[in-house]
Amino acid sequence: MQQAPGSMGPNLLLLLAASSYLISPSLSGSFQIDYNNDCFRKDGKKFRYISGSIHYSRVPRYYWKDRLLKMYMAGLNAIQTYVPWNYHETIPGKYDFTGDRDLESFLKLCNEIGLLVILRAGPYICAEWDMGGLPAWLLQKKSIVLRSSDPDYLRFVHKWMDVLLPKIKPFLYQNNGPIIAVQVENEYGSYFACDYDYLRYLLKLFRYHLGDEVVLFTTDGAGKGYLKCGSLQGLYATVDFGPGGNTSKSFEAQRYAEPHGPMVNSEFYTGWLDHWGKKHSVIKKEVIAKSLDEILALEANVNMYMFEGGTSFGYWNGANSPYWPQPTSYDFDAPLSEAGDPTDKYFSVRQVIGKHKTLPAGPVLPATPKYAYGLIQVKKLQSVTDSVNVLSFSGPVESVYPLTFVEMKQYFGYMLYRNTLPMNCTEGTPLASPQNGVHDRAYVMVDGVFQGIMERNKVNTINITGQTGSRLDILLENMGRINYGGGIHDFKGLVTNLTLASNILTNWTIYSLNIDKAVASGNLNKLQRKTSEALPEVNASVPAFYLGTFKIPNGIPDLPQDTYLKFPGWTKGQVWINGFNLGRYWPARGPQVTLYVPAHILSTSAVNNITVLELENAPCGIELNAVCAVEFVDSPILNGTTAYTNFHSRAFNKQSWHE
Ligand SMILES: *[C@@H]1O[C@H](CO)[C@@H](O)[C@H](O)[C@H]1NC(C)=O
Ligand SMILES: *[C@@H]1O[C@H](CO)[C@@H](O)[C@H](O)[C@H]1NC(C)=O
Ligand SMILES: *[C@@H]1O[C@H](CO)[C@@H](O)[C@H](O)[C@H]1NC(C)=O
Ligand SMILES: *[C@@H]1O[C@H](CO)[C@@H](O)[C@H](O)[C@H]1NC(C)=O
Ligand SMILES: *[C@@H]1O[C@H](CO)[C@@H](O)[C@H](O)[C@H]1NC(C)=O
Ligand SMILES: *[C@@H]1O[C@H](CO)[C@@H](O)[C@H](O)[C@H]1NC(C)=O
Ligand SMILES: *[C@@H]1O[C@H](CO)[C@@H](O)[C@H](O)[C@H]1NC(C)=O
Ligand SMILES: *[C@@H]1O[C@H](CO)[C@@H](O)[C@H](O)[C@H]1NC(C)=O
pLDDT at 417 over 50: yes
Q: Separation of 116 CA from ligand 6 center, angstroms?
A: 58
> Of the residues 267, 308, 338, 477, which is catalytic?
267
- Tell me which residue of 364, 354, 271 sits closest to 309, measured CA to CA: 271
From the CA of 459, give the closest atom in ligand 3: 13
**Which residue's alpha carbon is nearest to atom 3 within ligand 3?**
428
Let me know if 187 is a catalytic residue.
Answer: yes
What per-residue confidence (pLDDT) applies to 620? 84
Q: Separation of 89 CA from ligand 5 center, angstroms?
A: 38
Q: Which pLDDT band holds residue 207 (cuts at 50, 70, 90)?
A: very high
From the CA of 422, give the closest atom in ligand 5: 13
pLDDT tens, 374-401? 999 998 888 999 999 999 999 899 999 9
pLDDT tens, 140-161? 999 999 999 999 999 999 999 9
What per-residue confidence (pLDDT) applies to 659? 27
Asked whether 279 and 647 are in contact (CB, 8 A), the reply is yes
Out of 607, 608, 610, mutate this one to test ligand 7's pocket (max ligand atoms within 8 Å of CB): namely 607
pLDDT: which is higher, 439 or 652: 439
- Tell me how far apart the 2 most distant CA atoms of the chain are, in Å: 82
Q: Is 400 in the pocket of ligand 4 (CB under 6 A)?
A: no
Q: Can you tell me the distance from the alpha carbon of 266 to that of 52, in angstroms, rounded to the nearest whole number?
A: 9
**Which residue's alpha carbon is nearest to atom 5 within ligand 7?**
522
Q: Can you tell me the distance from the alpha carbon of 450 to that of 337, in angstroms, rounded to the nearest whole number?
A: 39
pLDDT tens, 35-79? 999 999 999 999 999 999 999 999 999 999 999 999 999 999 999
Ligand nearest to the CA of 463: 3
**Which residue's alpha carbon is nearest to atom 14 within ligand 5?**
507
- To 10 degrees, what angle do helices 103-113 and 151-168 make? 40
What per-residue confidence (pLDDT) applies to 555? 87
What per-residue confidence (pLDDT) applies to 222? 96
pLDDT tens, 337-381? 999 999 999 999 999 999 999 999 989 999 999 999 999 999 888
pLDDT at 166 over 50: yes
What per-residue confidence (pLDDT) applies to 395? 85
**Which residue's alpha carbon is nearest to atom 1 within ligand 2?**
424
> Residue 599 CA to chain centroid, in angstroms?
20
From the CA of 504, give the closest atom in ligand 4: 2
What per-residue confidence (pLDDT) applies to 644? 59
Q: Can you tell me the distance from the alpha carbon of 133 to that of 153, in angstroms, rounded to the nearest whole number?
A: 14
Asked whether 227 and 237 are in contact (CB, 8 A), the reply is yes
What per-residue confidence (pLDDT) applies to 47? 98
pLDDT at 197 over 90: yes
What per-residue confidence (pLDDT) applies to 525? 76
Report phi then psi at 217, rounded to 5: -145, 170
Q: Separation of 340 CA from ligand 7 center, angstroms?
A: 28
Let me know if 267 is a catalytic residue.
Answer: yes
Question: Which parts of 299-373 are beta strand (E)?
Answer: 301-308, 319-320, 324-325
Q: Which pLDDT band holds residue 523 (cuts at 50, 70, 90)?
A: confident
pLDDT tens, 525-558? 776 654 444 444 455 689 999 999 999 999 888 9
Apex 393 CA angle, 389 and 398, nearest 5: 80
pLDDT tens, 496-509? 999 999 999 999 99
What per-residue confidence (pLDDT) applies to 529? 52
Q: Separation of 506 CA from ligand 4 center, angstroms?
A: 10
pLDDT at 622 over 90: no
What per-residue confidence (pLDDT) applies to 35? 98
Asked whether 485 and 187 are in contact (CB, 8 A), the reply is no
pLDDT at 310 over 80: yes
Q: Mean pLDDT over residues 248-267, rounded?
A: 97
**Which residue's alpha carbon is nearest to atom 2 within ligand 5?**
507
From the CA of 463, give the closest atom in ligand 3: 1
Out of 246, 250, 252, 254, mutate this one to test ligand 1's pocket (max ligand atoms within 8 Å of CB): namely 246
Q: Separation of 507 CA from ligand 5 center, angstroms?
A: 6
Ligand nearest to the CA of 425: 2
Residues with CB under 6 A from ligand 6: 449-450, 539-541, 621-622
Q: Separation of 569 CA from ligand 4 center, angstroms?
A: 40
Residues with CB under 6 A from ligand 1: 246, 248-249, 252
Residues with CB under 6 A from ligand 3: 428, 430, 461-463
Q: Separation of 639 CA from ligand 8 center, angstroms?
A: 6
- Cβ neighbours of residue 458 closer than 8 Å, sequence gap 6 or more: none
**Which residue's alpha carbon is nearest to atom 11 within ligand 2?**
424
| Distant-in-sequence contacts of 581-587, Cβ < 8 A, 24+ apart | 581/313, 581/314, 581/315, 581/516, 581/519, 582/313, 582/314, 582/328, 583/311, 583/312, 583/313, 583/314, 583/315, 583/317, 583/328, 584/315, 584/317, 584/327, 584/328, 584/479, 585/328, 586/276, 586/327, 587/640
**Which residue's alpha carbon is nearest to atom 13 within ligand 4?**
496
Q: Which pLDDT band holds residue 642 (cuts at 50, 70, 90)?
A: confident
Mean pLDDT of the chain: 92
pLDDT tens, 53-62? 999 999 999 9
pLDDT over 70, % of the chain: 90
Ligand nearest to the CA of 433: 4
**Which residue's alpha carbon is nearest to atom 9 within ligand 6?**
539
Q: Separation of 545 CA from ligand 6 center, angstroms?
A: 17
Ligand nearest to the CA of 431: 3
The string of DSSP codes covering 384-397 is TGGGHHHH-SS--E
**Which residue's alpha carbon is nearest to atom 1 within ligand 4?**
497
pLDDT over 90, % of the chain: 86
| Residue 378 identity (one-letter amino acid) | V
Q: Separation of 400 CA from ligand 5 center, angstroms?
A: 8
